[in-house]
Amino acid sequence: MTHSTFHRLTCFGVVALLGIASNCVTAAPARAEAGSGPLVRVLALGDSFSAGVGGGDYEPGPCDRSKNAWSAQWVERARARGVNIALENRACTGATMHNFYKPVRDTRRQLDYVTSDYDIVMLTIGGNDIGYR
C-alpha cells in the first residue's frame, strides 16, 4: 500500500467513524435522564482544530486544549439527550499526521491513546500538513 493510499484510507475511516458517531448521538432518546445507561467513552485526537484553539477556557499544558472544543460540545449534546458519556481530549495544537505516530510538544504520540477502553475515537488532523492557517 502506498503512503498516499494509506492516508486516503485513514481519512475515509475518520469520516465514516464521525458519521457513525453522529448517528449515535441523534438516535438517543430526547427524554432520557442524563447519565442513564452504560458509559460511552470518547477519545478526541488531532491538531488545533480538535484541541479547540480559539475556544478559550484552556486546560493547563502545552497543547492548548479548550474545554469548549468541538468534541466537548458534541459530548455535551449527547449528554443532554441522556447519554452517559465521558470525553478525554488528547489533541495537540500544531500536530501533523507525523505526530499521530511520533510525540509532539513533550506529549506521547497520539496513537498510544487509542485503546479498547474507548467506544468512539474522534480525529481531525492534517490542517498543519497542508499549511492551513
Cell 492551513 -> residue: 132
What are the pLDDT digits (tens) for 8-23?
444 444 443 444 444 4
In sequence order, which ranges of 52-117 are alpha helices (DSSP H)? 70-80, 97-101
Mean pLDDT across 65-70: 93
Tell me yes or no: is domain 3-124 CATH 3.40.50.1110.
Answer: yes
Closest CA to 89 of 51, 132, 57, 131: 51
- The whole model's pTM is what? 0.69
Cα separation of 90 and 68, whole Å? 14
Mean pLDDT across 41-51: 92
* DSSP conformation letters of 28-86: S-TTSPTTEEEEEEEEEEESHHHHTTTS--BPSSTT--BTTSHHHHHHHHHHHTTEEEE
Mean pLDDT across 33-56: 85
Report helix, strand or coil for 26: helix
Q: Kindly list the domain boundaries of the chain, sorted by start residue.
A: 3-124
User: Which segment, 8-12, 29-33, 49-53, 68-72, is predicted with the most confidence on average?
Assistant: 68-72
What are the pLDDT digits (tens) for 85-95?
999 999 988 88
Residue 131 has a pLDDT of: 73
Q: Which residue has the higher pLDDT, 97 or 19?
A: 97
Mean pLDDT across 105-114: 82
